[in-house]
Amino acid sequence: MEALIEQRIAASVTTVFSYLVDPTKFVQWMGVSAEIDPRPGGAFRLDVDGQHIAVGQYEVVEPPHRLVVTWGWEGDAEVAPGSTTVEITLTPDGSGTLLRLRHSGLPNEQQRALHQEGWRLYARNLAGLMA
């Protein structure tokens, strides 16, 4: 199953991309701490709320337009580390950027809905930083 979101952001593609790969900027819109190595094969570890840790590996890094990572949650058998894939694409949209996020491989409708809502919230947070 897939979660899909689109979010228009009032900033350039390059600026938005920097918020996806710089740990200091990343935690301004998602999480409380981030360890990020944004290169193919590099790992990430995101503490999103002090209790839930997302982990994965970068598969594709194409600045400033596209990221593909494996995704999962530490200690969660249902969405285990490496069990799903997140693809983010950034395209110019007038004076801003259109962010498209596709989270695939989710095991059931409940997880799809939870991740859809979570990604929607985080994308709005990111857009709000640039408003």
Q: What domains sit in the chain, N to C, each tagged with a CATH number?
A: 2-129 (3.30.530.20)
- Beta strand extents in the chain (DSSP E only): 2-9, 33-36, 43-47, 53-62, 66-73, 84-93, 96-104
Residue 125 half-sphere exposure toward CB, CA atoms < 13 A: 15
What pLDDT is stored for residue 13 in this prediction? 98
What pTM did the predictor assign? 0.96
Averaged pLDDT, 25-32: 95
> For 43-99, what is each residue's pLDDT tens digit?
999 999 999 999 999 999 999 999 999 999 999 999 999 999 999 999 999 999 999
Q: Tell me how far CA of residue 94 lies from CA of 76, 88, 129, in angstroms.
A: 40, 19, 18
d(CA 36, CA 27): 11
What pLDDT is stored for residue 79 in this prediction? 97
End-to-end C-alpha distance for the chain, whole angstroms: 32
